[in-house]
Amino acid sequence: MDYDLILVIGIVIGVLTVPAILSAFLDGSAPRVATIAAVMSGGMIVFAVYSAPGGYSISDLPDVFTKVVAGFVR
């Protein structure tokens, strides 16, 4: 299982949920879908961090993103 890919997808989903949550609050509605996406994102990040051998640190994130994007570009 590719823990780098799971981590990157979780971070991207987490970043995309921030505008959705803000939009829902500004419209006065409940952010149901955004909350579910945020929970899934958090779960993916936690799973990747704890399952990867050696774990991840903050300084590893640029290399992880580069590795995942390079895997799709090639």
Number of folded domains that form the chain: 1
**What pLDDT, in 10s, does the model give residues 18-61?**
999 999 999 999 999 999 999 999 999 999 999 998 889 999 99
State the residue for tokens 């909350």.
35
**Closest alpha carbon to 4 in 72, 56, 55, 64:** 64
- What pLDDT is attached to residue 64? 94
C-alpha to C-alpha distances, 45 to 13, 22, 26, 57, nearest whole angstrom: 10, 21, 27, 12
Q: Is 70 exposed, middle or buried (0-12, 13-18, 19+ CB in 10 A)?
A: exposed
Judge whether residue 1 has pLDDT over 80. no
Domain range for 67 is 3-73
